Structure 1
Amino acid sequence: MPIDWSKASPLSLSSAELERISRIHPELQKLRKNPRAGQGECGFFTTQDNWPIYYRKWIPPATQLTQKVVLCIHGFHSHGEKFVLLADHLFGRTWATYTIDLRGHGLSWKKLEDVGDIENYNLWIKDILEFIHFIGSQHPHLPLIIVAESMGAAASIHIASYKPTHLRSLIFLSPAFKAWKAVEFSMVLETLTFGLLGPATGHTIPVRSKSHFDTNNETYKLYELSDPLRLARATPRYNLQTLKMIHQVRTCNLDQFKPQSFYPTCVFYGGVDHLVDFEGDQEFIRCIHTKDKELHFIPDAAHELLSDRYAIDYGIYEKIIRWIERVRG
């Protein structure tokens, strides 16, 4: 029986209800060729401003000594569940994998009107930095690798500018450093139009029907369309703050990194990505101060790379694993 969110919130759920809503969605489950990671362990991290951040983790068994930590950050309208596809490939190694739902996404909210809304994108940055500190308390002194997609990659550049203590490497999937002009214009137009029709905090912008833009995998498309935790509507200021965060990546103080001192960075981009422009990824790779960087262009792949058959045939999972293997403490 579906949960009536008008009468409940994630924190009010019983342990049985939380376990049920945390089960991997059946359509996403179909994409797991070797579901070794299982469901993972789920919980809530509370931020300094008392906000619940939902997370899922896969930890090596007690018989193995954890040696690295991977933090996965999702993109626009999404939440962290999809990274179970990556967890299946990482599971069995001495790496702990975490994924979070950003504030206002998935199960990271207090009131229903919080879903699909953000007052200021800096709240996302603050939450992630606090969660990284939490991870550090769970796994002291271990190197941290961030795997982020789309909007999450833009957030990760803001994170990197703060130089978190144990951050060692970045892996970006379809990073949103520059949106296609048509996409950006559409978001601006929606923000202005729906902002005029109601308050900036009104959930007026429909988003669920747009899933066909970002994937060429029919099963993944069904997952996006039927996923109860994917955003169905967003507020005008959600759009505005997302655009601000992407644009202000260019103002992040990356010059603070001495020559060749930026984090080793690996970027993957699909050639039929209709959301983000490859030019932004190329410019980013050129500008960062490190020789340890790679840019992978996958000609026929779409925006959602982890479920894309062209990206899988290209060896995206094997390349991610090799990149993580190279990371030192």
Structure 2
Amino acid sequence: MKHTEFSFIASDKVLTYAQTWQPENNLPLKGAVCLIHGLGEHGGRYEHVARFFADNGYATLAVDLRGHGRSEGKRGHIKNWQILHDIISQGLAQCGQRFGVNSPFLYGHSMGGNLVINYVLQQLPNIKGCIVTAPWLEIVQPVPAIKIILSKFVNKILGAHTEKNDIDTNNLSRDAQIVAAYNNDKLVHDKISVRLFVEASKSAVYNLSNAPKLKTPMLLMHGTADKITSYTASERFAKNAPPHLLTFKPWPNYYHEIHNEPNEDKWAVLQTMLGWMEEI
């Protein structure tokens, strides 16, 4: 597998890190995947996913979102949601420039899943389809109403203020090694700013309200035992989206990171992704 790293200047003039993985051989690619990670993590945590895709003829490009991983910016903070839309657009453009694939797949997990859904609903991009796993449409442990109300006021004057995101990392995966690696990863952080929380929450509400407007083929998958983002919210989105475009796949007893579950469980998830990609 061939691995490359590069950076680009995003629309907010901030340096954004990205990396690619692609098959070693010179055979024509079947396609490409632009990967958008979740809150607090980074694209490097998906190397095994990219290797699986490469072994099956697909290139992968992963960007580190603003304030995450190796990209610049205050940890866990964004100026606005549109900047993240712009980063996705640049990532998709890079797939064309680097792989010669002008209609790649777009894949987002957790907060990245929220972002990908919002992007395809609003931007109508030229992509072959999107894969969304465990999207942040609702949070399992609801934020108190008073805190939500206060955050909207604080956002106007102290939007960059950050707090811990309160994610219990034991709920990421049933694989203890995955949890330990996450906890020891120096590129992972546990921060979220008031602005990012407000913007992501607004996006989630928009997504649930506009599911019927979906115009892009989507594979939506969620573990039923997810204690971080709501499985039932994904179920509602799937129920309201056009059935000829939306494929919904529950994973019984899986935790939040379905691509990081133990042993053969994660490979079943990746094989399902591949099968869907090759059918549409």
SS at match of 2:187: coil
Q: How many residues align?
A: 277
Superposed, 1:23-172 pairs within 5 Å as 37=1, 40-61=3-24, 63-110=26-73, 114-140=74-100, 142-161=102-121, 162-165=123-126, 167-172=127-132
Name the % identity: 17
Q: TM-score, normalised by structure 2?
A: 0.87
Superposed, 1:1-329 pairs within 5 Å as 37=1, 40-61=3-24, 63-110=26-73, 114-140=74-100, 142-161=102-121, 162-165=123-126, 167-180=127-140, 182-185=141-144, 188=147, 192=151, 199-203=158-162, 205-207=163-165, 210-250=168-208, 252=210, 255=213, 262-309=215-262, 312=265, 315-327=268-280
SS at match of 1:306: helix
- Contact conserved, 2:114 with 2:204, CA < 8 A, in 1? yes
SS at match of 1:316: helix
Q: How much has 1:210 moved relative to structure 2?
A: 3.0
1:10 paired residue number: none
Q: How much has 1:280 moved relative to structure 2?
A: 1.4
- Contact conserved, 2:61 with 2:91, CA < 8 A, in 1? no
Deviation digits for residues 55-97 of structure 1, max 9, x if unmatched?
A: 1101233621123011111112211111112112112333111
Deviation digits for residues 247-276 of structure 1, max 9, x if unmatched?
A: 222355853x6xxxx322212211210122
Q: Which runs of 5+ in 2 are unaligned?
A: none
- Contact conserved, 1:85 with 1:306, CA < 8 A, in 2? no
SS at match of 2:65: coil
Change (3 A) 1:69 1:186: farther
Change (3 A) 1:170 1:96: same
Counterpart CA distance in 2 for 1:253 and 1:278 is 16
Q: How much has 1:150 moved relative to structure 2?
A: 1.0
Counterpart CA distance in 2 for 1:243 and 1:155 is 11
Counterpart CA distance in 2 for 1:184 and 1:146 is 29
- Contact conserved, 1:145 with 1:171, CA < 8 A, in 2? yes
Greater gyration radius: 1
Counterpart CA distance in 2 for 1:142 and 1:220 is 34
RMSD of the alignment, in Å?
2.9
Counterpart CA distance in 2 for 1:279 and 1:208 is 21
Give the aligned residue type for 2:142.
V
Q: TM-score, normalised by structure 1?
A: 0.75
Give the aligned residue type for 1:241.
E
Counterpart CA distance in 2 for 1:225 and 1:190 is 31
Give the aligned residue type for 2:175.
N
Q: How much has 1:208 moved relative to structure 2?
A: 7.4
Counterpart CA distance in 2 for 1:225 and 1:309 is 17
Change (3 A) 1:292 1:48: closer
Greater mean deviation of Cα atoms: 246-255 or 82-91: 246-255
